[in-house]
Chains A and B, each alone.
Chain A
């Protein structure tokens, strides 16, 4: 097990309406070979921008990576030109998008869309690519692959389209698969099919997955490690068990207790009051301080450093400082497994 991808102190800024929106502010994490890392957060927390930065897909202008490094295979992707990135995208790192309705080209046959990457990156002939494309469709569970290669996206249902998107992403055996809300646009029964498929494929191919989502249920289903993002920063990271059963950051507490439990009776949801911060004028201290029930004076003025709680868990919160008062998490946290 080694680091496949290492991100160090990434900062991404968008210059929009005369303001500088700091979407990602000093994010660092690493991805190991073959694992699934989930990045969880609400809209505007910077999770999708982080993934786009890895892919080199930040539109410039208005966006730019202002500082930081993204190490993949020993080299820094931030310094790569678009041309160099094109050799990586779709080959070593590929992406599954949220909306399968817009991720596919409606005027191109499915087969051609899958073959595109195979011909470009693996120098296959048209016929070889076609055979491989049929195999891929079979891998993602689409019946009659040979016939369906000649169909257009509108002839597929939502779940089937997402399968095609996954087939395209897997075409060149990527080392990293970035899945940006892969099941958000799908119905629950179809979501269950796609999650099953993704787990199955990871077993078969050993691809590392970065799963970007706001749905903690999907995280519990698929991920091994979790990074919780808020206001452009990672506020807490740890293994799946650590985040769900022993979270230390009040935002993680809030996120976990604001969801109703299917298997238990909840009288009242613990809502997080207020709204997320405006990142064109990011708070000086902890971004969660204005909504945090345990906020202290220091939280408003200074961003806390990460406290290492175990080999895998890191949390950025002043409550973990030895001078801070002891605060217990809400009663609903940490009671796992029924």
Chain B
């Protein structure tokens, strides 16, 4: 990735803890650092409970960050914000949710769902302008004008997700956080939605944070990918680099665990099967979070937390195996 590219979003040492009882704290996101460049798609992958959704929700301020900085277009948005700053932020940053059945208000007509942002931000002056915007947005996402006066229950899952995308686009944002936008959809519909997102990005120069657990789809859509494990970022690299030369043992295992839709490859592929389950984020292992399942765990892994460092150009990893001082 070109160093000179402008950073739209900078996340520095972000932490988000949830108090689950008087003495237990769930460390959902624990010290995560990454940048998102203007116009790119940044993929965030990991298994359930790794903190990828919490990261996205904390950036857009659905959750208050516990610690750390979030810079959007050079401005700090992680701390206390005035109502005005928050409003301005929500115009420039939008979100697409996972479940298209739960994220649309069943009592609102499609036109009102899409135009809600326009109304809040007073972006349209007349009713006619408002409807024109709605029609235009519906057509942009591949729906028809006639759909404007219908209710969400009249649509299929894929169509609802298109409505969700139209709503996000309504306020003309720069940055969209898509939290598992396709995992509730059927395979053939997934491809439709992914193609739509890519077209929109080309036309409008959008920047995406694409959160998903489906690694093959993330590889397809993303320019750079970050792999999370138990609240930490394990590895971050341009997507081809990450898939061709994964450094972190967790990334290697994750990649080898995906079943490939090709019988010959499936038969000859060597698979790293991880033993056991992901430990509880309430009481994570000391040192490296992954050491309890890591096939290469060493003594130091239990003692010290691996440093987050750049192992190759634009290829970041946090693993003792790749720490220069200890390199085998």
**Residue ranges of A at the interface with B (Cβ–Cβ < 8 Å):** 42-43, 157-160, 187-193, 195-196, 214-221, 240-241, 244-245, 254-256, 258-263, 265-266, 268-273, 275-276, 336-338
Contacts and interface: CB of A to CB of B under 8 A. Distances in A.
A188 B277 contact: no
B260 interface: yes
Contacts of B126: none
A192 B271 CA distance: 9
B259 A220 contact: yes
5 nearest CB pairs, A to B: A217-B259, A260-B220, A337-B264, A271-B191, A258-B191
B47 to A, nearest CB: 4
B144 interface: no
Q: Which of A160, A193, A260 has the most CB of B within 10 A?
A: A260
B219 to A, nearest CB: 6
Interface residues of B, number: 43
B263 A220 contact: yes
A118 B158 CA distance: 45
A263 B243 CA distance: 8
Contact of B261 (A158, A217, A254, A273): A217
B263 A244 contact: yes
A262 B187 contact: no
Given A187-B48, A263-B260, A42 B219 contact: no
A195 B263 contact: no
B241 interface: no
A310 B259 CA distance: 27
Given A220-B260, A220-B262, A42 B187 contact: yes
A221 B243 CA distance: 20
- Name B's interface SS: helix
26 contacts: A42-B186, A157-B277, A158-B277, A187-B48, A187-B213, A188-B213, A188-B215, A188-B258, A189-B254, A195-B259, A217-B266, A221-B266, A240-B263, A244-B262, A245-B263, A258-B188, A258-B191, A260-B220, A262-B216, A265-B240, A268-B195, A268-B198, A271-B195, A272-B188, A337-B262, A337-B264
A219 B260 contact: no
A190 B277 CA distance: 8
A260 B259 contact: no
B266 to A, nearest CB: 4
A336 B262 CA distance: 6
A255 B264 contact: no
Given A216-B261, A217-B258, A255-B188, A262 B219 contact: yes
Interface in B170-204: 186-192, 194-195, 198
Contacts of A187: 47-48, 213, 278
Contacts of A214: 186-187
B191 A269 contact: yes
Given A188-B254, A189-B254, A261-B216, A256 B261 contact: yes
Q: Which of A196, A216, A221, A337 has the most CB of B within 10 A?
A: A221
Contacts of A338: 264-265
Nearest to A244: B263
B277 A275 contact: no
Interface in B246-274: 253-266, 268, 271, 273-274
A215 B240 contact: no
Which residue of A269, A270, A338 has the most chain B CB atoms within 10 A of its CB atom? A269
B186 to A, nearest CB: 4
B262 A188 contact: no
Contact of B47 (A188, A259, A260): A188
